[in-house]
Amino acid sequence: MRIVVKVGTHAIAKKTGRPDYQALSRLTTQLSALRKAGHEVVFVSSGAVAAGVEAMGLSARPTDVNEIQMCAAVGQARFIYEYEKLFAAHGVKIGQILLTHFDFEEHRRAQNVKKALDRLVKAGIVPIINENDVVADEELKGKTFGDNDWLSFLIAKLVKADVLILLTTVDGLLDATGKRIPHVDSFKNVLKLVRAGEKGKLSKGGMDSKLKAVKAAVEAGVDTYIANGRKSVLVPILAGKSVGTFFPGSAL
């Protein structure tokens, strides 16, 4: 089975932006278990800018594009270094891929990305993908991957993934009372359950961003989940347990 797992900034970083090593260790242990079980795993990870915010001694994510680029350059090195150590402890090799919108807008470039990912996963290597915030200028044009939510959909569609799992800091999509919604068959009225742009100071996503990515993914036929990245949920999800919120491919 080919699986794309995306983790949001707040699921793997502390409030200061410093990497949360306990969360990173728990996540890499799960991803390694999936890889060793024979699954092809593609990992989309946010958190580089947040790590740079901490390293630069800033109190919050900058709004200036050049400041964001600086934080990304510093933070990406910190995050990939930690990932390499943690995955290596499980005997799993990783590869880093940084992408922008341009890599999907031109067919030849998109196919090059697909071929690279296919080769990595077939070799048993876990690709770690992030938006290339160091060179991306999409925010100047009002375009964004939304803390990598949309990027994870584009990747899932590109590599023809069987499952897309979006990891956040809550147990899934919640109803008005805060209770987890285990299964969604239709998107009618779903977007009304969340407030647009709801997010933290370190990220640029939110539940509305995730739901837009989920809607696109299920329309492309990809079974999709939103689940709590601060818990060990990946193996239970693939075992069919009622974890997070499940959106079956073709749920319209």
Q: For residue range 9-20, list pLDDT tens digits in order.
A: 889 888 776 778
Domain that holds residue 136: 2-247
In a domain, 105, yes or no: yes
Token pair 């068959």 in the structure block, residue: 185
Cα dihedral 48→218→164→206 (10° resolution): 30
In a domain, 216, yes or no: yes
DSSP at 249: T
- Relative to beta strand 245-247, strand 223-228 is antiparallel
pLDDT surpassing 70 at residue 241? yes
In a domain, 69, yes or no: yes
Under the phi-then-psi rule, with left for phi > 0, alpha for psi from -120 to 50, and beta for the rest, what region is 196?
beta
In a domain, 27, yes or no: yes
In a domain, 110, yes or no: yes
CATH number at residue 85: 3.40.1160.10
32-47 average pLDDT score: 94
The domain total for the chain is 1
| Cα–Cα distance for residue pair 168/185, rounded to 1 Å | 21
Contact 42, 121 (CB under 8 A): yes
**Angle made by CA atoms 166, 87, 206, in degrees to the nearest 5:** 20
pLDDT at 50: 81
130-137 average pLDDT score: 80
In a domain, 108, yes or no: yes
In a domain, 252, yes or no: no
Q: Is the dihedral of CA 59, 209, 168, 75 positive or negative?
A: negative
In a domain, 176, yes or no: yes
Top mean pLDDT of 33-37, 73-77, 101-105, 195-199 is at: 33-37
